[in-house]
Structure 1
Amino acid sequence: MANVTRENLSVLNDKITVTLSKEDYFEGFEKSLKKYAKTANIPGFRKGMIPAGLIKKMYGQSVFSEEVLRKVEKSLLDFLENEKLEIFAQPLPLENGSPALDMNNLVDYSFSFEIGLKPEVVIDVAKLKVTQYKVTVTDDMVEQEIDRLQVRNGKMTEPETVTGEDNVLNVKFVETDKEGNEPEEGISKENSLLVKYFTEKFRKNLMGKKAGDSVVLQLKKAFDDKELDFILSDLGLEKGKKGDESKYFKLQITKVGLVERPELNEAFFETVYPGKAIATLDEFKKAVKTEIENYYQAQALNQVHDQIYHQLLEHANFQFPDNFLKRWLQVSGEKPKTTDEIEVEFPTFKEQLKWTLISNQLTVDHKIEVLPDDIRTLAKQQLLQYLGGQINMDENQQWVEDYANRMMQDKKFMEDSYHRIATEKMFTAVAEKVSKTEEAISAEDFAAKLHHHHH
């Protein structure tokens, strides 16, 4: 039986040495040679009648090496299992840790490996403190949402000129200087905007304009902060960068549109909320408000999960076998990496590994399970979301079931869904045990927090 020893090299980094005596490998070597002699096919000899000396001469060394390495691997894996060692990746052979093998030199052989041990992960989620935000839904927010729903369900017309803030403009942004001269290789981008997206002061420059007209604008003067964010991003520019916000563009109008809003009546209410039998404007406003509240409630829960994520990473101070992990990263890919490349990649890799250990432990601690029905339900929810909720589940039950069955055969969908559901269940379980403080907040302030903490 092989002799296996273990010694510490550094923090969570051990050396394991497997030593084989002649008795450990010789019998297996001879059996393998005899098996080879029965199956080998050599011209001039009948199968199974090849002299043992010839077999040994032709195949002995490769069979010998194979047998020794097989014994080493089995002994190493048995040791790791018996000792119940939790390791990262797989053992790495140490430099000069693999001796030259010679079938004519039946001696003791020693092989040395390096292992990286996983740290013990203990998490007390009761110590985490988070803020549960409750967004105040105002009457203005309800009116804005009703306006958006009217535009979305309205009929598009094409008037000749711009007459008000509800006009829709198909435009082309072409980078210029202050005088409207176009530089070489300037930015050029098409977009579609409502007139009311521009600042109130700038809108007067658009009144009376028609397709084919143009106007020169400076981004920071033509748009307020919220719209400026969107425009800068769409143009590939950066918010907060003075040079970008101060750029000039020629706004070429390619089409003028106007949405004719539908009346706020029962037919419209049925279009927006089919099957809800909403009869009055007050009932409709109440339904809209409830939907906005549900949206922000879900967003607030996601924000709690975000707080939990960051606190878990900040408070988890366990160590890692850095040297082992760097060496493993260097040699594990298809192409070996340089030391400099590893130094650049390692901090991000280590942070991801840290979160993997934390989430795995929390999954065990909270007995998280993902069942086939969970994945099937997700498939149906995604279909409903994709169709914008405009489908009667009862009337189309078989079609929806068939879709879910197809998705359950998709390996990538299954893997992605499993991870997504397990993560959601884990965060939900942790959120029930952390210390929560409820705080009322405006939609604007909440949006700023989402932007700041997004991961």
Structure 2
Amino acid sequence: MNITQEKVDNLNSVLKINLAPEDYAPRVDKAIKDHAKKAKLPGFRPGMVPAGHIKKMYGKSILVDEINNLLSDTLNNYIDEQKLNILGQPLPKPDDNKEYNWDFADTFEFNYEIGLAPEFDLEFTSKDKVTQYVIKVDDETLASRTKNIRRSYGKMTNPDVSADDDVLYSQLEQLSPDGSVFEDGINETVSVRLDQVKDDAIKASLIGLKKDDTVEFDIQKAYDGDAAKIAGLLKIDEETAADLKSNFRLTVKNVNRLEESDLNQEFFDKLFGEGTVTTEEEFKAKITEELEAMMQQDSERKLQDEIYNYATGKVDFPLPDEFLKRWLKVTNEKLSDQELEEGYAEFSKNLKWTLIANKIIVENNIEIKYEEVFEAAKQRLDAQFRMYSPQPLTDEQLGQYTVQYLQNKENANRTFEEVKALKVFEYIKSIITLDQKEIAYNEFTKLAN
């Protein structure tokens, strides 16, 4: 057996594998004998089928399978031995000029294209600057959060006339183009939240309504074409909601209003525990503190995006693009040419980041320990459980769930990659200059979008 590498350029090579009968015959003979021991054929006792009979009946398919296995082993061993840093996987290179009889005496030659990772220099210094946003709670955000919390602990009332932020318990009927009710159309009893209506004119038409009042409106315009919201309201699938062109008639059955809770000691105690907060000023300070903790996470995510974009822009190197596009098509049969072209820029950017991150890990001897992966998975599960249960799990229970979670290979790999990414970000942050900039949360949300 002989395997050689022919370099096309610095990013592309062809691996040639030549197989003679003596290279594959031992594997094929062993596979035939194994089949003979397990075969159950009429006229033969189990395990007593002659190997020659198996070779006659199934020999060619066994030969193909064993040669494919041998090729796979040979490629992987060669890539490991030569320490080739390949991208994607080797792709068979068809040769229409070669035809084989597959008769156990052929000499085979197989060619494989490989894409190679580029060599590149990587240097971050204090001269590299990335903006780090320090988010401050603005009055608008604080007021909105305060209002939502007070409403969460408030009481439901039923006023005679609707106002902004009310909920209209209504009958929604689909209309025909002539304005009549569409026969067999959508007819649902729904709760329309006025704070979710995007169009100002339609929202204004829903304010000041009483029981049995009716209003006709364009539902796509009302929700700014948000198929998910329309589907949820009308109890239909999103595809149907996206294609919906009809107007709807709304008939008010009841007006519901959630009154805000009073800012009193009973409310403070329910929210923070008895005696923790006793004044409105302390309440606002506590809400501000909680908001800033949440905003710190948003700020960190934004910083990671900034570092990612800066690093992939700073470190410029080519990729074997044409090979990678062929590989993506081979491994994703349903991927259209248009989808490939539209998504390749983002794919190549992510691949560049992966190469940069791997180089940082190797050159700086950064370790990812099991304990770190375990702790990251444990924190993820703790956050998930807290979403559904106010009573936190004990540390022992959480540890048991984490062990089970990481026994799944996909979960373990994903958590490992998350820890690895965080370590890379922390390394870069420790080298470059973070140019801190204060920004109000309402302005930050516009920036983040």
TM-score, with structure 2 as normaliser: 0.73
Q: Which amino acid aligns with 2:129?
A: K
* Correspondence 1:434 to 2:432: yes
Q: Which amino acid aligns with 2:298?
A: Q
* Distance change >3 Å, CA 342–CA 124, structure 1 → 2: farther
Q: Distance between the aligned counterparts of 1:441 and 1:248, measured in 2?
A: 42
Q: Which amino acid aligns with 1:130?
A: V
Q: 1:244 — aligned with what?
A: none
Aligned sequence identity (%): 26
Q: What is the SS of the residue equivalent to 2:4? A: strand
* Distance change >3 Å, CA 128–CA 10, structure 1 → 2: same
Q: 2:448 — aligned with what?
A: 450
Structure 2: stretches of 5+ with no match in the other structure: 232-245
Q: Distance between the aligned counterparts of 2:103 and 2:307, measured in 1?
A: 59
Q: Which amino acid aligns with 2:280?
A: L
Q: Distance between the aligned counterparts of 2:186 and 2:153, measured in 1?
A: 37
- Judge conservation of contact 1:157–1:258 (CA < 8 Å) in 2: yes
Q: Distance between the aligned counterparts of 1:328 and 1:347, measured in 2?
A: 16
* Correspondence 1:90 to 2:89: yes
Note the C-alpha offset of 1:182: 6.2
- Judge conservation of contact 1:270–1:276 (CA < 8 Å) in 2: yes
Q: 1:286 — aligned with what?
A: 285
* Distance change >3 Å, CA 140–CA 180, structure 1 → 2: farther
Q: Which amino acid aligns with 2:207?
A: L
TM-score, with structure 1 as normaliser: 0.72
The count of corresponding residues between Structure 1 and Structure 2 is: 423
Q: 2:75 — aligned with what?
A: 76
Superposed CA RMSD in Å reads 4.7
* Distance change >3 Å, CA 93–CA 46, structure 1 → 2: same
Q: Which amino acid aligns with 1:119?
A: P
Q: Distance between the aligned counterparts of 1:264 and 1:362, measured in 2?
A: 50
Q: 1:374 — aligned with what?
A: 376
Q: Distance between the aligned counterparts of 1:410 and 1:58, measured in 2?
A: 41
Q: 2:193 — aligned with what?
A: 192
- Judge conservation of contact 2:162–2:255 (CA < 8 Å) in 1: no
Q: 1:331 — aligned with what?
A: 330
Q: What is the SS of the residue equivalent to 2:286? A: helix
Q: 1:154 — aligned with what?
A: 154
* Distance change >3 Å, CA 70–CA 181, structure 1 → 2: closer
- Judge conservation of contact 1:136–1:440 (CA < 8 Å) in 2: yes
Q: Distance between the aligned counterparts of 2:196 and 2:267, measured in 1?
A: 25
Q: Which amino acid aligns with 2:432?
A: V
Q: 1:255 — aligned with what?
A: 254
Q: 2:347 — aligned with what?
A: 352
Q: 2:263 — aligned with what?
A: 264
- 198-207 vs 316-325, which moves further: 198-207
Larger Cα-atom Rg? 1
Q: 1:213 — aligned with what?
A: 213
Q: What is the SS of the residue equivalent to 2:88? A: coil
Note the C-alpha offset of 1:199: 6.2
Q: Which amino acid aligns with 1:442?
A: A
- Judge conservation of contact 2:360–2:424 (CA < 8 Å) in 1: no
* Correspondence 1:116 to 2:111: no
Q: Distance between the aligned counterparts of 1:54 and 1:32, measured in 2?
A: 13
* Distance change >3 Å, CA 204–CA 9, structure 1 → 2: closer
Note the C-alpha offset of 1:154: 0.7
- 44-53 vs 267-276, which moves further: 44-53
* Distance change >3 Å, CA 149–CA 200, structure 1 → 2: farther
Q: Distance between the aligned counterparts of 1:441 and 1:235, measured in 2?
A: 34
* Distance change >3 Å, CA 249–CA 307, structure 1 → 2: farther
* Distance change >3 Å, CA 435–CA 25, structure 1 → 2: same
* Correspondence 1:362 to 2:341: no
Note the C-alpha offset of 1:322: 2.8
Q: What is the SS of the residue equivalent to 2:87? A: coil
Q: Which amino acid aligns with 1:297?
A: Q
